[in-house]
Every structure is written in C-alpha cells, then in structure tokens.
Structure 1
Amino acid sequence: MGTRRILAAVIATAALTGLGLTGAATATAATAQGASSYVTPSECKQGGGTADLTDNLCKGGMHDGEKID
C-alpha cells in the first residue's frame, strides 16, 4: 500500500515537471515567432534607435518596430 502511494507521488511529480517544461518551450516558441516585445526608451537608444513616444515605437537600430513601454 505504501509503495503505491510513493509510486503515485513519483508519477504525479514527473507529470507536473513535464507540464512545466512544455509550458517553458511554448513560451520560448511564441517569443521566437515574433510576439511583440517591449523595450524602454533607453534600451531603444542603446540599440541604436530613436524612441518615438508619439507612436510608442522604437525606430531604427536593433529594436526597430518594437513597442516602447
């Protein structure tokens, strides 16, 4: 009886760990597929761009087209 409880706990832990890894992979894939990201005005400038606060976009540089937060 005790062995079954331990085995059930191990299986449940493994299942939850697998879900956590799947969620992390999904989040990484979503970011890699071009999900919009936010940069600060200083990050925009450091990347060689200009922070356009009228449109809330970074224009130019390595953060070109990203939204300013």
Structure 2
Amino acid sequence: MRSRRILAAVIATAALAGLGLTGAATATAQPSPTPHFNYTTAAKCREGGGEPYLHNTVKCWGGTYDGYTID
C-alpha cells in the first residue's frame, strides 16, 4: 500500500513538472506583452506606418511600433 502511494506521488510530480516545462516553452515563444518598455523615435514611428501622439501619453499609435514610447 505504501509503495502505491509513493509511486502515485512520483507520477504526479513528473506530470506536474512536464506541464510546467510545456508552459515555460509556450511562454517564451510569445512576443513581449508589454510594449511600454520599448522605445522608438517619432521618425521611426512614422516610417513604420504609425502616428506619434505627443500630447499626454507620448506614444506611437498604429503601425509597426504601435504602443511604443517615443523617446
């Protein structure tokens, strides 16, 4: 009976570790979800098809650099 519990615990641990590795691989394959840490210039924003919004937020709107902070 005790060996069954140990075997079940080992299998459960292995299964959870496998799910954790799969989740980590999936998470690293995704692009950065927080573009506010990325910076661009107003000229590059326009080149990428966006429009610099220089009022309150100082960000690029649209195009390749959408959401990037203008430095």
TM-score per shorter chain, which class?
0.5 to 0.7
The match for 1:9 is 9
Q: Which has the larger radius of gyration?
A: 2
* Cα distance change on mapping 1:36 and 1:66 into 2, 3 Å: farther
Distance 1:56 1:20 in 2: 36
- TM-score scaled by length of structure 1: 0.56
| 1:50 counterpart = 2:48 | no
Aligned-residue offset at 1:10: 0.7
Identity %, equivalent residues: 51
- TM-score scaled by length of structure 2: 0.55
| 1:38 counterpart = 2:29 | no
Gapped regions of structure 2 (runs ≥ 5): 43-51
Aligned-residue offset at 1:67: 1.9
Gapped regions of structure 1 (runs ≥ 5): 59-63
Higher helix fraction: Structure 1 or Structure 2? Answer: 1
Q: Tell me how large the CA RMSD over aligned residues is.
A: 3.0
Residue-by-residue CA offset, 1:9-53 (whole Å, 9 max, x unaligned)? 01101100100110111111222xxx654133xx51xxxx32634
SS in 2 for 1:5: helix
